[in-house]
Amino acid sequence: MPATDFRAVSAACFTSVLVVAASVLVVVGGGARRGGPGRERVVPDDIDSTPARGKVGTDVDRETLTVRLDDDSRAYSFAAVQGTTYDGRTYTVYAGTSLEDEQAAVDQVTRVMLIGLPFLLVVVAGVTWPVTRRALRPVEGIRAEMSEITASGDLSRRVPEPDSHDEIARLAATTNETLTALEQSVERQHRFVADASHELRSPIASLRTQLEVAVAHSELLDVEEVLQDVVRLQHLAADLLLLARLDAGEHPAGGMVDLGTLVRQELAERSATDRITPGITVSDVPLEVSGSRGQLARVLGNLLDNAQRHATSTVGVELCAEGTDAVLTVTDDGPGVPETDRARIFERFVRLDEARTRDDGGAGLGLAIARDVVEHHGGTLTARQSPGGGAAFEARLPRAT
């Protein structure tokens, strides 16, 4: 074959390769837009991008143009690629393809979305609405019942608890527990007000009677009896005030109290006036607790008053350490407390011996105050039977660290 024909055939083959390469690049990059990710990078002018002999260039210039033919405008994607033949001649091949199919696909998807999306929203709304209403129906029942309870003031009513065992059921259960606690609190408050009014009425009526008699007959005035009624009234008012402060959540002072010193001082002050001398067993180990010295002295005083009121001949006081607790025990050799009443005696205005006089038995607030004070100090106060057959009151308080 002559050399001229060979060069012609080589050039034709090479041109065909360039056309195919440009066509492939058009198809691959057909979706690119000007300035988009499909556009090839721009090569600076000072860099020669001409491919070597017998090579097809890697720099591709893509462009999307709108071509107007007669009255019809269509978008085309064009690509240009260079190649150099073996004899050094450089060709630039341009290829283009229509974006009509791509635009048709986009239009079809758009139409489907415009038609199907409203229908889908209607279906979702139609399903979501009844499901949500059904799920929130128990909440509406709880709200309606709470509204009726608030309007009527009847705290004995309870909200309905669904059987779903989910968060709404737990909410209903917690609401009923809150209503129960609130009902008990209101009942205690009403009972407390009624009992306090009853207890205050007696000394006030007694004072009024004696003062009315004294106005008419001054020589009949018993000053000592009037003083006793005033002292009793003062103590009762102080007890009620302390209980009110404890109910309001008043926290004891954060000082350090040595229980051993407190017990010795309290018993030393009583020994001169009390008819019963208690037996004392106090640990040699310093037992300090955090709290109010005045309130803890009130606890010991109330327990001693209760023990001396019921003891036959002996009152025992023991203070020791058990683990991390300081244990104060006050015992007596009296009739003791029946097991069924050992929790009830710590209620306010409760007196087991209803036959005894008020002057001898007190108002029934001493043990209630002692228990509330101990609990506010983080401890417990319980009643049990003493080894001698009487009553034993055990106060456990956490030791200070």
pLDDT of residue 6: 40
Looking at the domain that runs over 252-398, which CATH code has it been given? 3.30.565.10
Residue 369's alpha-carbon distances to 80, 299, 374, 389, in angstroms, are 99, 7, 9, 25
Domain range annotation of the chain: 3-98, 252-398
Of 362, 232, 233, 393, the closest CA to residue 300 belongs to: 393
CB 161 within 8 A of CB 176: yes
Report the distance separating Cα 187 and Cα 156, nearest Å.
11
Report the distance separating Cα 75 and Cα 63, nearest Å.
10
Report the distance separating Cα 304 and Cα 318, nearest Å.
12
Report the distance separating Cα 175 and Cα 155, nearest Å.
12
Of 67, 63, 74, the closest CA to residue 22 belongs to: 63
Per DSSP, what are the bridge partners of residue 68?
Answer: 73
pLDDT of residue 210: 80
Report the distance separating Cα 327 and Cα 332, nearest Å.
17
Give me the half-sphere count of Cα atoms (radius 13 Å) on the Cβ side of residue 68: 2
Per DSSP, what are the bridge partners of residue 315?
Answer: 332
Name the residue with tokens 């660290």. Answer: 401
Torsions phi, psi of 330, nearest 5? -120, 120
Longest Cα pair distance anywhere in the chain, in angstroms?
164
CB 368 within 8 A of CB 384: no
Name the residue with tokens 């041109």. Answer: 15
pLDDT of residue 203: 77
Torsions phi, psi of 160, nearest 5? -70, 140
Q: What is the pTM of this model?
A: 0.55
Token representation of residue 42: 């721009």
pLDDT of residue 42: 43
Count of beta carbons in the 10 Å neighbourhood of residue 358: 13
Residues 6 or more apart whose CB falls under 8 angstroms from that of 298 comprise 242, 369, 370, 373
pLDDT, averaged per 10 consecutive residues of the chain (401 residues), comes to: 45 50 47 39 52 77 79 80 83 81 85 86 88 85 89 87 85 91 84 75 80 78 78 80 77 82 85 65 81 89 88 86 90 86 82 50 78 91 87 91 75
Please name the residue ranges forming H helices in 161-286: 167-216, 223-247, 259-270
Report the distance separating Cα 151 and Cα 145, nearest Å.
10
pLDDT of residue 380: 93
Report the distance separating Cα 12 and Cα 395, nearest Å.
112
pLDDT of residue 339: 85
